[in-house]
Amino acid sequence: MERHILPPESMTNEAIAARLTNTVSNQIHKGLIKKKNLVYLELNGCSGNIISLLNGQNPDFEYTLNSMVNLRYSNSLMASEGEKAIEKLMDTLDEEYILAVEGAVALKNNGLYNVIGNWKGKPLTGLEAATMFGEKATHILAVGACATHGGVSAAKPTPSQSVGLQEVLSTKKMIKLPGCPVHPDWFLGTLAHLLLYGEPETDNLGRPLMFYSTLIHDRCPRRPFFDRGIFAEKLGDKTCLFKLGCRGPVTRVDCPTRQWNGHVNWPIGDDTPCIGCAQFGFPDAMAPFISFDTTRVVKNE
């Protein structure tokens, strides 16, 4: 049976996630491809990524996820609790599955600074779960800054000794989706690409080029102010925010065109400098987030 699937390179950047997820749902409905199992682990972090994903619109996270995969485990979303939940997680080891992980991996005390449940009377740490399920997964998605490189969980002084997922699965290839949090489109679009075409093209850091190829600075609607040397002096100014600490010139992601909260706005659109949350090294390498010359502000007032 011939499959009429629009290749990703023919889609606009803004529409790519919706087109990919809709195509997957249609192909599954027609019996052309089959659903795959998904294990979604939440490790050491704030669960901000799963919250962000639940706010997704076009594509909608809950509907789209259920249409594309069999969600076998999710700390936050599954109905089962306690050892019954962990039992369902362990049953997945005997099957093929895609692994998605948000949160960093805590190494302190053999991982005891992050326990996701109990199994056979013993605590199951995030370190054990990441290692166990990462070794057998067909594909691995590191979701959000903490999973991709440690993020806020690994920020100094990191009492939990948290690290990114790659450090405990050093021999495994993984797709990395940095962001604090990740945009719903970045996750769902990447997952849909996996189901349709296999792994998407990535850069040398493992980020999908369809979302992370271009600097925010190059697409920012305030770029003309930068080129003309017109800079904001305080929050609320409508000119370039570079001198207030904007990290757009070093951050590769498509926020200016994709936008957030139903694709309606983004930080710079709300007069707030980009803090570089989708760039490796966040937050330590991006601090301070705001550079304020208070003497100048007081003088101007």
pLDDT tens, position by position, 25-53:
999 999 999 999 999 999 999 999 999 99
| Residue 295: other Cβ atoms inside 10 A | 8
Cα distance between residue 159 and residue 176, in whole Å: 24
Q: Rounded to an integer, what distance in angstroms lies between the CA atom of residue 132 and that of residue 113? A: 18
Distance CA 14, CA 247 (A): 22
User: Tell me, what's the pLDDT at 65?
Assistant: 86
3-state SS assignment for residue 197: helix
Q: Find the helix or strand (DSSP H, E) in which 72 lies.
A: strand 69-74
Dist. CA 135–CA 173, nearest whole Å:
10
pLDDT at residue 222 in the model: 97
Tokens 């594909």 label which residue? Answer: 139
Q: Using an 8 Å Cβ cutoff, are 206 and 174 in contact? A: yes
* Predicted structure pTM score: 0.91
**Token pair of 176, please?**
């990395």
Which pLDDT value is given to residue 9?
43
Show pLDDT as tens, one digit a residue, over the chain (301 residues): 333 344 444 345 668 999 999 999 999 999 999 999 999 999 999 999 999 999 998 888 888 888 999 999 999 999 888 899 999 999 999 999 999 999 999 999 999 999 999 999 999 999 999 999 999 999 999 999 999 999 999 999 999 999 999 999 999 999 999 999 999 999 999 999 999 999 999 999 999 999 999 999 999 999 999 999 999 999 899 999 999 999 999 999 999 999 999 899 999 999 999 999 999 999 999 988 888 764 444 343 3
Pull the structure tokens for residue 275.
């803090």
Q: What's the mean per-residue pLDDT of the chain?
A: 91
List, for residues 105-157, the tens digit of each pLDDT value. Answer: 999 999 999 999 999 999 999 999 999 999 999 999 999 999 999 999 999 99
**Length in residues, the chain:** 301
